[in-house]
Amino acid sequence: MPAPVRKPSLVVDTHVRVAAWLHIALALIAFGLVCVMALGLAALSQWGAPNDHLFFGVGGTVLLGLGIFPVIQVFGAAKLLAGRASGRIITLVFSVIYLLKFPVGTAICVYSFWVLLREQPKPVRRGASAGHQEPAPEGAPRASAATTELALAISARRSALAAARFRAATTGERTATSAPPQAAQGVPLAAPGRPALAAPARSAAAKTASTPTVPRPRPGTPRPS
């Protein structure tokens, strides 16, 4: 199995790259100075007294130790360019060391602190500005064709039901508005294909109220001829 690829924990933008290359430049300058001092110490050892070997030995050891720091600084800057958290820590440590080297070291230290301690920007995916969609990662669940068709069928069914309900509600409102006067009076309408039903018989009280009453003549009253 291939080794897993580590994702960068730091967003490498233009400011991070500039800070990393500034520290690489400082490290190369420091390493050059150490080399010059080593050559000078070697030249002095040839003209020194025989008893001065202890001094030159200690001086060489110190220069060797000083030469390790630029190498570590370059290593940290390379890690910073790769987006690793370890490179960020190493670069911050060397920024503190260069704080006393006014004015160049102080300016680089302030800039490095601002770059590495600020809120990290969000990474921009390639192709996002051009409108391209990145392919889905391997192992991501993909919807099958049957699932998609089922979802489309359910959506179409719901749309058809909603349209049928809307039509039924609209038709009912129109029927209630345009109803004939017979229906308003309680007379049942004739169904299509059937004869019209007769109106319900009036009650006896209604008939009595609608029939005119003739007064009866009193006894002894002559009838009109």
Cα–Cα distance between 96 and 164 in angstroms, integer? 76
Residues 6 or more apart from 56 whose CB is under 8 A from it?
41, 44, 45, 48
Query: What is the count of structural domains for the chain?
Result: 1
pLDDT at 79: 92
Residue-averaged pLDDT of the chain? 73
Asked whether residue 48 is domain-assigned, the answer is yes
* pLDDT value at residue 217: 58
| pLDDT at residue 128, as a whole number | 47
Helices (H), 178-211: 181-184, 204-210
Give the pTM.
0.49
Q: Is residue 71 part of a domain?
A: yes
Q: 100 lies in a domain?
A: yes
Evaluate whether residue 95 is within a structural domain.
yes
Kindly list the distances between the CA atom of residue 198 and the CA atoms of 180, 186, 188, 191, 203, in Å, as whole numbers in the listed order.
16, 12, 8, 13, 15
Residue ranges of the chain whose pLDDT lies below 50: 1, 127-131, 139-140, 183-184, 187, 189, 191, 196-199
Q: 64 lies in a domain?
A: yes
Residue 80 lies in a domain: yes
The answer as to whether 97 is a domain residue is yes
CA distance 172 to 188: 18
Domain limits for position 108: 14-117
- Rg of the chain's alpha carbons, rounded to an integer? 52
Question: Which residue, 81, 87, 104, is CA-closest to 30?
Answer: 104
What's residue 224's pLDDT?
55
**Where are the alpha helices (H) located in 82-203, listed in sequence order?**
85-97, 104-117, 145-177, 181-184
SS3 25: helix
How many CA atoms within 13 Å lie on the side-chain side of 219?
Answer: 0
Q: Is residue 4 part of a domain?
A: no
